[in-house]
Structure 1
Amino acid sequence: MDIKKIFGTVLTLAGIGGLIYTAILYGNGSENTRAMVIYGILGALFFFSGIGLIRNTSKSS
């Protein structure tokens, strides 16, 4: 397995974790909206960059 695919997988899993944590904070009725926004944006950024890295690496191999 290529190192880029491994890094893309790690980024994708970190993004999923961030999005799940955001959903848990939202579900618990957290009043700290700043934390929810930050975790949500970082989770989405990690998720989509990981997916993009996996897609681009598999096409070139």
Structure 2
Amino acid sequence: MNLKRIFGAILTILGIVGLIYAAYVFMNTGGKVRDIKALAIYGILGLIFFVSGIGLIKQTKDAS
């Protein structure tokens, strides 16, 4: 297995975890500024990690 694919899988999993945590913060928010900042940070980072991980997995060709 290629190292890029492993790194892509790790990034994808981290992205999914970040998006799930952002959804959790969204469901338990009180509308405070601190909650909105946490929601934005985890949501954006989760989306970036998820998209970059999927991109690495799709673009990496198998050597065999």
Same topology, TM > 0.5: yes
Identity value in percent: 53
Q: Which residue of 1 aligns with 2:43?
A: 40
TM (normalized to structure 1)? 0.91
Q: Which runs of 5+ in 2 are unaligned?
A: none
Give the residue type in structure 2 aligned to 1:56.
Q
Distance 1:54 1:10 in 2: 10
- Note if 1:56 corresponds to 2:24: no
Residues paired across the two proteins, number: 59
Segment of structure 1 superposing worse, 37-46 or 21-30: 21-30
Rounded to whole Å, the distance in 1 between the matches of 2:43 and 2:29 is 15
Larger Cα-atom Rg: 2
Normalising by structure 2, what TM-score?
0.87
